[in-house]
Amino acid sequence: MDHPSLLALFEAYLTAERRASLHTVVAYTTDVTQLIDYLSEQIPEKIATAVTGQDLRGWMMALAKEGLSHRSINRKMAALRAFYAFLATKGLMVERPTDVLKSLKGKKRLPIFFQEKELLAFLDQYLFPVNFPGLRDRLILELLYGTGMRLAELVALCQTDINLENGTVKVLGKRDKARMIPFPKPLIQLITAYIREKEKLDHPPTPQLIVTNTGKPAYPMFIYRVVKKYLAPTIRSSQHSPHIFRHTFATHLLDKGADLQAIKDLLGHASLSATQIYTHNSLTRLKEIFKKAHPRAEES
């Protein structure tokens, strides 16, 4: 079978059987097309169904020499694994050459977070409009910082998940694992005012807590726009996204002496290793304080 036919079948497989998103379908078919182009240039006698693990490793090495990041290379490996798994299920290959491929490990980047003084000054001093959009936008920012919940968790949050009496919110995290997160007391008044205004909207009610101006459930890009609208002009940071609030929540808790296990539970991490990356930020901050404060810190 020729390469165009294989690609067409693979695309159909991703769409119909894997039910992959359009983004994934485009990315994976592009990656496989790049592999085919590489084979035609470097190993013209080879077709995609006859490659070996060594051939694929050669392509990975070539990509690395070109300066492609380990994340991009790993993404291409994932595309190849899906492609050759597809060929195997269709009986077009017996062995999978991708079995010898191992994902590359790169240097972990420290989480970006907002500085405490800057963020608190903004939240305390910014004059949000005293109407439904203003209350909602402020609630989005306060919930993200006050609970550390994920973007998807905020979008899916229902009004019934909020317990105003004991100041907690029930969040449904990854793998449908529920957890309870306490939230700051000032949020009780804000949530109450927001719900009051939300009920005045002339639109069919929805169970989701956060809704748009037209009363429809909020979606990820909507939350992104709200965060960027308020923080990009006011808070110094290389990024202004909802997820930065999650990093900020964890870092600020750790800076104040919170137990790492407790932070893990609040974030909904499956293991403590995922939470430990925040200790690097706190250690960096402590080193800076030490250099400024200790009399012998600058001695050679």
Residues labelled catalytic: 150, 174, 243, 246, 269, 278
Alpha helices in the chain (DSSP H): 3-12, 22-42, 53-65, 70-89, 116-125, 132-147, 151-156, 186-198, 220-231, 242-255, 260-267, 272-275, 277-293
Give backbone dihedrals phi and psi of 216, rounded to 5 degrees, phi first.
-85, 155
Measure Cα distances from 117 to 114, 122, 242 in Å: 9, 9, 18
Q: Which residue from 147, 176, 180 is spatially nearest to 163, judged by alpha carbons?
A: 180
List, in order, residues 6 or more apart from 236 with CB less than 8 Å away. Answer: 115, 118
Alpha-carbon torsion, ordered 224, 226, 230, 232, to 10 deg: 20
Tell me how far apart the alpha carbons of residues 218 and 161 are, in angstroms, rounded to a whole number.
16
Mark residue 175 as left, alpha or beta (left: phi above 0; alpha: psi -120 to 50; beta: remaining). Answer: left
- DSSP letters for 41-97: HH-TT--GGG--HHHHHHHHHHHHHTT--HHHHHHHHHHHHHHHHHHHHTTS-SS-G
- β-pair partners for 168: 163, 182
